[in-house]
Amino acid sequence: MAFYPAAAASCPVRILPTLTLSDQGRSRSIPLRIYLPQQPGLAPVIIFSHGIGGTKDAFSYLSYHLASHGYLCIHPTHLDTDAAVLREKGLIEIRTYMDNPGLLSLRPRDITYIIDSLGEIGRRLFPWPGTLDRERIGVAGHSYGALVTVLLAGAALDLPDTPGDRLVDQRPGAFLAISPQGTGNGLTRESWRAIRRPLMTISGTRDVGWSVGPGTSSRDKKPPSWRLEAFIHSSPGNKYHLLLAGASHFSYGEENLAPRDSAATPVHSYIKTAVLAFWDAHLRHHPQALAFLRSDGLLRFSRGYASLFWK
């Protein structure tokens, strides 16, 4: 099958750099960056959760690409684990903060509140020419944002004080987890089996990990295969994994690109291709996108660099 998509970007994109929601019930502000396709019609919504020490500016290349193909992309800054806190307190302090099981729900509730507020967001985007489609929603995230994503998708946590706790939101139709966690942090081999909706995970052959959260150590290093566990242990049916040869944990986003990642540029190209096909297949229900995901098209085009698995 030919490389997907064959066409170039289909529409101009406008970026709204700052729109802030106020969740009064939690006394919490949620700053947003929004990528708007400049065309009329219904725009499916993608909400992206950044990693620890990130901001709403993360993964701009990916959301700009998606917006150019008609998706409205919303990036929140999760206060308390964002770049400002990282600069002030350091990574170890943030990891200590995350050892509190009661704080695991903060980020998923940010995403849920954004979904609750889509009507308000749509009104505040006036006179944007399109219409925000609240019936077609996707949730994505990188690193700790990937944990947020699978929890919203239905993954069950098994923690001492909250066995089997779930933070699921039934409204999104599909989920994307970039560099997800494996077992640990309350996730077991059974956790992902509860996810019944479409899920794509992405990792690299040099993407080592550290288990963070209750009962773990900052030195608890995990091999790259740990990042595949969400796919391996998930229930069959519209599950995908994109494996990128040579990619590390910082290869996927533009803000912290590791200099030694010699294949940095193709990483972005292959991610944009696979992710657009995933959303097209499972939010827009395009049969050609589904066929691409279940073909060797990306493997052949990348000359073996990008392998796309499915079950």
Going residue by residue through the chain, which has 311 residues, state the pLDDT in tens, using 9 for 90 and above: 556 875 666 899 999 999 999 999 999 999 999 999 999 999 999 999 998 878 899 999 999 999 999 999 999 999 876 556 655 666 665 665 555 666 678 889 999 999 999 999 999 999 999 999 999 999 999 998 999 999 999 999 887 666 556 789 999 999 999 999 999 878 899 999 999 999 999 999 999 987 554 444 445 689 999 999 999 999 999 999 999 999 998 899 875 444 444 444 588 999 999 999 999 999 999 999 999 999 999 999 999 999 999 99
What's the predicted TM-score (pTM) here? 0.90
Locate tokens 């391996």: which residue? 232
d(CA 177, CA 114): 18
Residue 256: what pLDDT? 44
Residue 264: what pLDDT? 46
**What is the four-CA torsion angle of 177, 183, 188, 189, rounded to 10 degrees?**
80
Contact assessment for residue 230 and residue 192, using Cβ atoms and an 8 Å cutoff = yes
Strands 199-204 and 174-178, bridge-based pairing: parallel
Which domains, and CATH codes, for the chain?
Answer: 13-310 (3.40.50.1820)
Angle at 48 between CA 299 and CA 56, to 5 degrees: 120
Strands 239-244 and 199-204, bridge-based pairing: parallel
Contact assessment for residue 142 and residue 50, using Cβ atoms and an 8 Å cutoff = yes
Instruction: Report the chain's C-alpha Rg in angstroms.
Output: 18
Residue 37: what pLDDT? 97
DSSP state of 184: B
